[in-house]
Copies of this chain bind each other. A is one copy, B any other.
Amino acid sequence: MKSISSAFRALADPTRRQILQELKPGELSAGEIAACFTISGPSISRHLSILKNADLISERREGNRILYRLEPEQIAHTLGDFLSAVCPTQIARRRRWKRKEA
């Protein structure tokens, strides 16, 4: 697991948060991700590297292309840890709410 700092810095950018959303249904290549945006390929590439450095996504090469995949456990773990550290009571409350909803 990487530092909480790199994770929060990575999450601070709206483009990067949207990349995470695009990856939610499953793996996508760098090009497919870039196609979701109007900004240039290299910019997306850098965003991907920042997300990867924060361990919020991972990559694997498949032939010509590089496929990116969400790391939901890392994301949940990082944000969850921060929440537990700063406001543990409210996490418990939200948990109870959700349980009611279910």
Interface of A toward B, CB cutoff 8 Å: 4-5, 8-9, 11-12, 14, 17, 20-21, 24, 70, 72-73, 75-77, 79-80, 82-83, 85-87, 89-91, 93-95, 98
Question: Contacting A87 at CB < 8 Å: which of B9, B75, B85?
Answer: B75
Q: Across the interface, name the chain B residue whose C-beta is closest to A76.
A: B90
Which residues of chain B are within 8 angstroms of A95 by Cβ–Cβ distance? 95, 98
Q: Copy number in this complex?
A: 2
Which single residue of chain B is at the shortest CB-CB distance from A23?
B86
Closest to A56 in B: B86
A94 touches B76 (CB 8 A): yes
| One of B12, B24, B85, B89 near A8 (C-beta < 8 A) | B12
Q: Are B9 and A12 in contact (CB under 8 A)?
A: yes
